[in-house]
Structure 1
Amino acid sequence: MSQQKTSLGLIFLLYAGGLGAAGQFAKIATIFPEIQALYPASVVTQGLIMSVIGFLGVVFGIFVGQIVSSLGYRKMLIAGMLLGAAMSFVQAFLPPLPLFLASRMIEGLAHLAIVVAAPTLVTQVTAPNKRYLSMTLWSSFFGVGYALCASAAPFALEMAGPPALFAGHGFYMLALAGLSFAFLPRLGLERAPLPTLNDVIARHFRVYRSPYQSPAALGWLFYTLTYLALLTVLPPLFPAEHRLALATMLPIVSILSSFTLAATLMRFLSAVTVAQIGFAGGIAAALWMAVFGVSTELAVAIFVVMGLLQSAGFALVPELNKDPQDQALAMGGIAQMGNLGTMSGTPILLFLLSLMGTGAIPLFLALIFAGGFTSHAIAKRLRQRP
C-alpha cells in the first residue's frame, strides 16, 4: 500500500537509481570518440553500441511493466541494479565487439527494470498531495545523470581510460543495490499474475486505448521527438564561440523550468493541463520562429516549455492511475514511447533540414507539439464520457 507520509530518504535513494539508469546511456555518449577508437567498425555498428538500449525499450517497455508488477517492484529494481552493475564490469574489460554489444543488450533490460520500478515506487513512498513534486524531481533524472557522468568522464579517462568509467558506474550500481536491499521496505503491493504472450499483446492494445494509461506515453513520445533533436540541431546554427555554452545551458534551462515553473503551476493545475500549456507554448514558439527566425532567447523559451512537458509527463501517471499496477504499465509506456521518440526525432528533423533548410525546424516543432496537445485533448474528452 502507498504511504500517507513522504519519505524523502527513500525518494532520493530511488532518484539515485534513476541517475544510474541515465548513466547507462551517458557512459557511452560522453566518451563516444574513445569508444569508436576502441571498436573500429561501420558507423551503423558503432551506433548500435549507443542505441541498442533504446531499441530494447521500444520493443519491451510495456512487457517489462507487466513483469515488474508481477514479480515485485522492489525485487525487480534491485535485480536491475545488480544486472546493470554486472554488465558495466563486463564492459570494463573491453571485451570483443560482439560481446560488448551483447552486454549492452542485457543492460537494456536492466535499464527498463529500473525506469519502470523506481518511479512507481517513488509514487508509493510519497504522500498523495506531494506526488507532483516527487515526479518533478524524477523527471530530471536523465538530464542530471547525463550531466554528472559528463563531469566525471574526463577524470575517468585521465585515470585509466574508458574502463575506469565503466567500472565506476558498476560500483555505483552495486552500492545502490546494497542500499536498496537494506533500506527500501517491502510495501506489500498487490502483484499481477505473470503474463502470457497473449496477455502481452492484449496489454499493448489496452494501454494505448486507455485514456488513463496512454496519455503519459503519447505525451512523452511528442516530448522526446523534439528534445534530443533540438539539442543536436540548434547549437550548430549559432556562432562557433556560443555553441558549447548553448548546448550546456539548454538542458539546464529545462531542468530549472521543471523545478520552478512546472512545480508552481502544478500546485494549482492538473498535470494534464500543465502538459497542454507546455504544448501550446511550444506551438507559439514554433510560429514565432517561423516569422522571426532562430535566436538565443527563443531557444531558451523552447526549453522552458520542455521543462513543463518533462515534469508534467511523469506527474500525470499517478494523477490518472491510482493503482500501482496501472502506474507500472504507464511507466512502461513512457519507456517505450520515450525511446521511440529519442531514436527517431533527430533523423526525422535532419531529413527535413536536408529538404527544406532551417525552415523545417518550426514546421517540425509545430506539428509535433500540435500532436501532443491533441493527444491530451482527445484523452481528456474520452475520460469525461459517462
Structure 2
Amino acid sequence: MPSTPSYSSVVAPKTQWLEIILLWIAGISAAMQFAKFSVSFETLLNHYQTTATLTGASLSAVGLVGLVFGVSAGMIASRVGYLKVLVGALLLGGSLSFIQSFLPPFNVLFITRILEGLSQLGVVVAAPTLIAKLSAPQHKSLTMGIWGTFFGVAFAVSGWAGKSLLDQYGLSTLFLSHGILISTIGVVLFVILRKNPVLDLVPAADNQGGFFSQMMRIYRNPRALLPSFVFLFYTCTLVSVLTYVPGLINDLSLQKWMLVLLPLITTSGTFLAGAIAQYLMRPQRVALVAYSGVAVSALVLSLIGDTALLFCLVVGVMVLFLGMVPGASLAMIPTLARNPSEQAQGYGLLAQFGNLGATVGPPTFATALVAYGLSGLVVLVLCVCCFGILFSLLAGRIKTVS
C-alpha cells in the first residue's frame, strides 16, 4: 500500500517568485477593502449624511467578520481548496466594489461591507498558505516577511493613488478602480495557478471529526495558537500607537511627517523580520527580540517626552520593532505547521486574534492616555511586551517540523 506523501515531501523545488508576487498583490487588493473606506471617510460622511459612528461601523465591519469566523475560514479552505477559496474571495470582493461604485443606499452599502469581510478573510487565509507551498524551504521565512507587508503597502498606495482618484473623480471611481484591480488579480491567479504542479501535490486535509470538535482541536493546538497570541499583542499596540502617539508631538510639522512615515517604518520592520528569520535566527527568536526592543524603546520614550525630535526618533525605533512582530508571527506558522491544513487553520486563527487585538487595543490605550498621559501609554506597552515575550518563549519551545 503506497504511503501518503508527507508535508515535507511536497515542497516547491524552487521558489516561484512571480506567483508569490501576484499573491502578495492579491493581499494588497484585499487590504484595500479597509483602506478605501479609510481614505474616503470624510467624503462618505458628506455623501450619506450619516453619523461618524455609523460610518465608522461600516469601516470596521470588514474586520468584525474575521473576528467571528477566522478559525472556521481556515477549516473551510482546507476542505474546499485554497485556490478555489482565494479566487472566489477575490471575485466576490470585485463584485461588491462594483456595487459600491453605484453609491447605493447606506443600508445596502453596509451589507456589502459585511460581505467584503468574507472576501478579505478568504484571501488572508488562502494566499499565505499558497505562498508557503510555492516557496522553497530556504526562502519560506523571507516570503512570509514579504506577505506580511501587504496591509501597510495597501494603506500607503491608497493614501497616494486612491486619494488622488477620490479628489479628482469622486467616490464612484475610487470603488470602481478597486473592483477592477481585485477582480483582475483573481482572474490572473486562476489562470496561472490552476495547473501548477506544486499545488497539485498538496495532500488532502485531515477532516476527521465534527466541525466543533475540529475547531476545539485548533484552539488547543500550540502550533497555531502561540503564533496567534504573539500576533494578538502586536495588533493591540500598533493601531493605537499609529493613532495616538503623533498627537503627543508638540511640533505640528513633525506630527504630519510622523503620520506618513510611521506606517512605512512598520512595513519595513515586517520585511526585515522575514529576512532575519530566514537567514539569522528562528522566527520565535525574532519575535522575542522585537518585543524586547519595543519595551526598551517605551522606557526611553518616558524619559525624553519634552524633546520633540528625539521623541520622534524613539517612536520610529519602537514602531520598527513593532513591525517586526507580524513578520515573525507569519513566519512561525509554516515553520511550525505539520501540513497545509494546519497552516490554513493557523492563518485563520491569526486573522481572528488580529481582529480581536485591533478591536480591544485602541479603546484600552485611549483610556490609559486620558487617565495618565504618556506614562499610561508606556506602562500599557510594557505590559503588552511582557505577554509578547512570554508567548514568544513558549513558541520557541515547540519542536520545528523538518
Normalising by structure 2, we get a TM-score of: 0.91
Paired residue for 1:250, among 256, 262, 285?
262
The 5-angstrom pairing of residues 1-386 of structure 1 reads 1-186=10-195, 187-188=199-200, 189-192=202-205, 198-199=210-211, 201-238=212-249, 239-260=251-272, 263-264=275-276, 266-293=278-305, 295-381=311-397
* Equivalent-residue separation in structure 2 for 1:57 and 1:195 (angstroms): 24
| 1:265 CA displacement | 5.3
1:216–1:261 CA distance, 2 compared to 1 (3 A): closer
* Equivalent-residue separation in structure 2 for 1:382 and 1:118 (angstroms): 25
| 1:261 CA displacement | 6.0
Given that residues 149 and 267 in structure 2 are in contact (C-alpha distance below 8 angstroms), is that contact kept between their aligned partners in structure 1? yes
What is the letter of the counterpart of residue 375 of structure 1?
F
What is the letter of the counterpart of residue 170 of structure 2?
G
CA deviation digits over 1:209-249, x for unaligned, max 9? 22211122111111111111000011111121211211111
1:32–1:264 CA distance, 2 compared to 1 (3 A): same
* Equivalent-residue separation in structure 2 for 1:193 and 1:104 (angstroms): 33
What is the letter of the counterpart of residue 296 of structure 2?
A
- Root-mean-square deviation over aligned CA pairs: 1.8
What is the letter of the counterpart of residue 178 of structure 2?
H
| 1:153 CA displacement | 2.0
Given that residues 72 and 191 in structure 1 are in contact (C-alpha distance below 8 angstroms), is that contact kept between their aligned partners in structure 2? no
CA deviation digits over 1:31-87, x for unaligned, max 9? 100011122223332211100111111000011111111100011100000000000
* Equivalent-residue separation in structure 2 for 1:207 and 1:102 (angstroms): 30
SS at match of 2:13: coil
Given that residues 232 and 354 in structure 2 are in contact (C-alpha distance below 8 angstroms), is that contact kept between their aligned partners in structure 1? yes
CA deviation digits over 1:315-338, x for unaligned, max 9? 111111131100000000111011
What is the letter of the counterpart of residue 346 of structure 2?
A
Structure 1 range deviating more: 39-48 or 353-362: 39-48
Given that residues 71 and 191 in structure 1 are in contact (C-alpha distance below 8 angstroms), is that contact kept between their aligned partners in structure 2? no
What is the letter of the counterpart of residue 233 of structure 2?
F
Given that residues 253 and 303 in structure 1 are in contact (C-alpha distance below 8 angstroms), is that contact kept between their aligned partners in structure 2? yes
* Equivalent-residue separation in structure 2 for 1:63 and 1:265 (angstroms): 29
Structure 1 range deviating more: 304-313 or 331-340: 304-313
What is the letter of the counterpart of residue 252 of structure 1?
L
| 1:158 CA displacement | 3.4
2:3 aligned partner? none
SS at match of 1:234: helix
| 1:133 CA displacement | 0.8
What is the letter of the counterpart of residue 132 of structure 2?
T
* Equivalent-residue separation in structure 1 for 2:215 and 2:380 (angstroms): 28
1:283–1:203 CA distance, 2 compared to 1 (3 A): farther
SS at match of 2:129: helix
Normalising by structure 1, we get a TM-score of: 0.94
1:54–1:298 CA distance, 2 compared to 1 (3 A): same
Given that residues 3 and 124 in structure 1 are in contact (C-alpha distance below 8 angstroms), is that contact kept between their aligned partners in structure 2? yes
What is the letter of the counterpart of residue 72 of structure 2?
F
Could you list the runs of 5+ residues in structure 2 that have no partner in the other structure? 1-9
* Equivalent-residue separation in structure 2 for 1:293 and 1:209 (angstroms): 43
* Equivalent-residue separation in structure 1 for 2:153 and 2:220 (angstroms): 33
What is the letter of the counterpart of residue 361 of structure 1?
L
2:5 aligned partner? none
* Equivalent-residue separation in structure 2 for 1:359 and 1:111 (angstroms): 36
| 1:194 CA displacement | 6.8
What is the letter of the counterpart of residue 64 of structure 1?
A
Given that residues 156 and 164 in structure 1 are in contact (C-alpha distance below 8 angstroms), is that contact kept between their aligned partners in structure 2? yes
| 1:381 CA displacement | 4.0
1:88–1:259 CA distance, 2 compared to 1 (3 A): same
What is the letter of the counterpart of residue 320 of structure 2?
V
Identity %: 30
Given that residues 81 and 114 in structure 1 are in contact (C-alpha distance below 8 angstroms), is that contact kept between their aligned partners in structure 2? yes
CA deviation digits over 1:12-32, x for unaligned, max 9? 010010110110100000110
CA deviation digits over 1:112-146, x for unaligned, max 9? 00010000000000101110110110010000111
